A = this chain, B = another copy of it.
Amino acid sequence: MTRKELFVLKDLLGTNNQVAAEIRRSLRERRVLAVNFLSSPGSGKTTLLERLVDVFKSRFRLAVIEGDVETERDAERIRARGVTAWQITTGGACHLDARMVGKVLAEVPADIDFLFIENVGNLVCPASFDLGESLRCVLLSAPEGDDKPKKYPKAFLTAQCLILTKMDLAAALEFDAAKAAAEALSMNPKLQVFRTSAKTGAGVEELAAFFTESLERMRSSGA
User: Interface readout for A182-210 with B: 1 if CB under 8 Å, 0 if not?
Assistant: 00000000000000000000000000000
B6 near A150 with CB under 8 A, answer: no
Q: Which of A82-96 contact B (CB under 8 A)?
A: 92, 94
A31 within 8 A of B: no
A123 within 8 A of B: yes
A105 within 8 A of B: no
Complex CA gap A154/B7 in Å reads: 20
B150 near A71 with CB under 8 A, answer: yes
Nearest-neighbour CB distance to chain B for A85, whole angstroms, equals 15
Complex CA gap A147/B46 in Å reads: 12
Q: Which of A146-202 contact B (CB under 8 A)?
A: 147-148, 150-154, 166, 169
Question: Number of residues in A with C-beta < 8 Å to the partner?
Answer: 40
User: Interface readout for A1-20 with B: 1 if CB under 8 Å, 0 if not?
Assistant: 11100110110011000000
A216 within 8 A of B: no
Complex CA gap A154/B9 in Å reads: 19
CB-nearest residue of chain B to A12: B6
Contacts of A40 in B (CB 8 A): 40-42, 121, 123, 144
Contacts of A166 in B (CB 8 A): 143
Complex CA gap A196/B148 in Å reads: 22
Given contacts A13-B3, A143-B166, contact A125 B42 (CB under 8 A): no
Q: Which of A111-158 contact B (CB under 8 A)?
A: 120-125, 128, 141, 143-145, 147-148, 150-154
Complex CA gap A123/B154 in Å reads: 17
CB-nearest residue of chain B to A125: B94
A21 within 8 A of B: no
In-complex Cβ contact of A6 among B10, B41, B121, B145 (8 A): B10
A108 within 8 A of B: no
Contacts of A147 in B (CB 8 A): 71, 73
Counting chain B CB atoms within 10 Å of each CB, the highest count among A68, A121, A166 belongs to A121
Beyond the given A40-B42, A73-B147, could you list 14 further A-B residue pairs with CB under 8 A, ordered by the A residue number? A3-B10, A10-B10, A40-B121, A40-B144, A41-B123, A41-B148, A42-B145, A69-B152, A69-B154, A71-B151, A94-B124, A121-B151, A124-B125, A169-B169
